[in-house]
Amino acid sequence: MEADGGARMTVIYIDSLALLNFLINYLLLLATARVGGTGFRRLRLAAAALFGAAYAVAVWLPGMAFLSGLFWKALSCAVMVFIAFGGFRRPRLVRLCLLFVAASFLLGGVVLALGMLAGVPSSGGIPYMPVDFKTLFLTAGLSYAALTLAFRHMGRHGVRETAEVLAIWEDRRILVKALLDSGHTLTDPISGAEVLILGTPAALTLLPRRAASLIDPSLLRDPAGVMELMGTLGFGARFRLVPFRAVGVDCGFLLAFRPDRVSVRGKHRPGCLIGISPTPLAEGIDGLVSV
């Protein structure tokens, strides 16, 4: 359409704008969860993506262009991450926020570049309809794969220092040396709690004698069977199975339990679970914990 004085005006369809940005935001949050090794709930991801779509629509409204400023973009990213992953500890939330921003730069930059090449409008970097949906999903898939490979490679070569870990179960306690690893992102998919890995000797020292007497390395390869044994002793509420993936293992289950308290370098980590490694850890290392 033509504005007064011959200036061209862009017609924006709110439904298309909202749908496009909802899909992009959902994909970015999903990539963030996958790359960060974080449990998630799709309804929470959808709610966060919906908030992001509402923000994108607001930027295009008359008199609301100031929302495209850096401060408001950063605030909207933080709110989206909080909505999607609000149950995690603050350090984990900060890490997820950084991952989300990195994913946004990768995917959003490519999509916006395609939109600019196609001569399609945007406001403050928020696209209206940059490309057709088929091209969008193809680009998103390639960006998702690149992001996953990049961050997993960084995780394998991340922080490699140790820290003292204190774990307590009633009147029993252990103080062990654990490896801090930014590539360790194992969490309980139900509660979202992080899972600290202990070698079998350290874990058996912490467990009550009745429970420890029923566990040996061979039994740990059948964690479901151990769960049944723990139930007969009245410890069923303390133990659970946590799915994991590792080299040579497409999908397995790790036997984990909930102690009374876990502290890393003197800082309490509420809700932290302890997984019992069925295989020996590195020499001189009793555990593995996320940064």
User: Which pTM was predicted?
Assistant: 0.48
- What is the 3-class SS of 121-146, one letter each residue? CEECCEECCCCCHHHHHHHHHHHHHH
For residue 50, count CB atoms less than 10 angstroms from its CB and return exposed for 0-12, middle for 13-18, buried for 19 or more. Answer: middle
Which pLDDT band holds residue 146 (cuts at 50, 70, 90)? low
* 28 vs 45: CA distance, rounded Å: 10
243-265 mean pLDDT: 78
Note the pLDDT of residue 243: 86
Is residue 151 a contact partner of residue 35, using CB atoms and an 8 Å limit?
yes
Which pLDDT band holds residue 56 (cuts at 50, 70, 90)? confident
Q: In this model, does residue 51 exceed pLDDT 90? A: yes
* 242 vs 261: CA distance, rounded Å: 19
Note the pLDDT of residue 142: 62
Q: Say which range, 39-43, 216-220, 259-263, 274-278, has the weakest mean pLDDT.
A: 216-220
Q: In this model, does residue 117 exceed pLDDT 60? A: no
Q: How many CA atoms lie within 13 A of 98 on its CB side?
A: 7
pLDDT digits (tens, 9 = 90+) for 8-40: 444 456 666 677 778 778 878 887 877 766 667
Which pLDDT band holds residue 273 (cuts at 50, 70, 90)? very high
Q: In this model, does residue 123 exceed pLDDT 90? A: no
Which pLDDT band holds residue 4 (cuts at 50, 70, 90)? very low
Is residue 174 a contact partner of residue 205, using CB atoms and an 8 Å limit?
yes
Which pLDDT band holds residue 205 (cuts at 50, 70, 90)? very high
Note the pLDDT of residue 3: 39
pLDDT digits (tens, 9 = 90+) for 73-96: 888 888 999 998 876 667 777 878
* 200 vs 273: CA distance, rounded Å: 15
pLDDT digits (tens, 9 = 90+) for 219-245: 777 888 888 888 888 888 899 898 876
